[in-house]
Amino acid sequence: MDDKQIAEFYKEQLFLQYARIGKCLSSERRLEILNLLANGPKAVETLAHLSGMNVANVSRHLQILLDANLVRFSKKGTYVIYCLANPMVAEFLVSLWKLSENQLSDVSRIKQDIEQHYNTVHTISKQEVLERMNKGNFVVLDVRPRDEYETKHIEGALSVPMEELDAYLDTVPDNTEMATYCRGPYCVFTTQAVEKIQKRGFKAYRIEESVLEWRSS
């Protein structure tokens, strides 16, 4: 082969490899699994429960993700635990969410629909959160499952999973203000948590960023 043919050959080989990732991410279900794993390692059964899929379907999607080296697994007793293969995968997902919101009007519309449905819930900026935490009488609540909190969380945040929120609010002084976060800007649990807190008479806000976005910013 001459130089031009060699260059063309290697270019084609590279783009074939890039396409492996693209094809792997063409399923909304696999993107959902990756988003769940971005918040911490999970057993196949846990992924099935959180995604609403059966174990067999989750296993098939995980095999495709594994073939593309986007996830890896370990064994803990009888359980197979999956996690992201590299932190760069989580960073890529954040970029994908931002790109989609910027380029796809449907994504922006869905976000606006959520905001309009919960029109009493307001977002608070990272800078405001940090300032209020320093002043006291302000707490940040991580409403994800506790294992995700233990994997990584916003510094100073308390772990209060959604199912424990009512019991926690029974212990909070009346003048306490709160902010909640979950798995990122499109996670409705964050907004639902704020609405529940507000109905109990407290001031509360939603944090839009996920843990990864919070740290990277």
* H/E element, 79: strand 79-84
Q: What is the CA radius of gyration of the chain?
A: 20
Strands 138-142 and 177-181: parallel
Q: Choose among 150, 154, 204: nearest CA to 184.
A: 154
Among candidate residues 24, 83, 182, 187, the one labeled active-site is 182
Cα separation, 68 vs 85, in Å, equals 10
Residue identified by tokens 């495709």 is 64
Q: Choose among 179, 177, 162, 191: nearest CA to 125.
A: 179
Residue identified by tokens 């064994």 is 75
Q: What is the DSSP letter of 175?
A: T
Task: Look up 182 and say whether it is catalytic.
Answer: yes
Catalytic positions, written as ranges: 182
